[in-house]
Structure 1
């Protein structure tokens, strides 16, 4: 069995690289998906496809519609979603992706530091598992493959 995992979370740090490298070291049979990690491309994909927009609001809406389509397709294709909430960046997209996973009935592992327990308490209760570190999330995935 091979699992497809969507990695929801901010795109400014290298947490996805870390989780992919550690999963490979553990020889986990997984494939990873996630949001567009090129921030500029994500912001300007609407104009790249549809042409220059007359203002920033329409530019954002054009990009958002395309990014939402991409995210929904990849979430639906995934067997599991791992959503990381860190302390440094705003996490609106992570919350939206984690909520979408719950709505789609996708198993969800939520990674969040203890300091974010209170603001994420409802989402944490909807997740299948809540952990504090990437390593813990991978231990959960590794357990899935245990005999």
Structure 2
């Protein structure tokens, strides 16, 4: 069995690489997908495809349409979603992706530091598993593949 796992969360740190490396070292049969991690490409994709926009709001809306398309396709094809809420960045996209995963009936592993317990309490209760760090998420993932 192989799983496709969507990695939802901020694109400014290397948490995705950490998860991929740890899963690879455990030889877990997982393909990882997620949002465009190149921030400039993500911001400019709307104009690249649709042409120059008349202002920043229109530029953001054009990019959002293309990025939402990518997210919807990849979330739908995923077997499981890991959503990371870090301490440093605003997490609106992470919340949106985690909620979309739940709406699609996708199993959800939520990673959030204990400091974010209160603001994420409702989302945490909806997730299948809530952990505090990447290592705990990897342990939960690897448990799926354990044989009896």
TM range (shorter): over 0.9
Give the Cα separation in 1 of the matches to 2:22 and 2:11: 18
1:89-100 map, 5 Å:
89-100=89-100
Q: Which runs of 5+ in 1 are unaligned?
A: none
User: How far does residue 110 in structure 1 lie from its aligned partner after superposition?
Assistant: 0.1
Q: 2:14 aligns to what?
A: 14
Q: Which runs of 5+ in 2 are unaligned?
A: none
Give the Cα separation in 1 of the matches to 2:135 and 2:77: 24
Q: 1:65 aligns to what?
A: 65
Q: 2:23 aligns to what?
A: 23
Structure 1-normalised TM-score? 0.99
User: How far does residue 124 in structure 1 lie from its aligned partner after superposition?
Assistant: 0.3
Runs of 4+ aligned structure 1 residues displaced above 2 Å come to none
Q: 1:123 aligns to what?
A: 123
Give the Cα separation in 1 of the matches to 2:145 and 2:22: 15
Give the secondary-structure state (helix, strand or coil) at the position aligned to 2:82. strand
Give the Cα separation in 2 of the matches to 1:95 and 1:141: 21
Give the Cα separation in 1 of the matches to 2:109 and 2:137: 7
User: How far does residue 65 in structure 1 lie from its aligned partner after superposition?
Assistant: 0.5
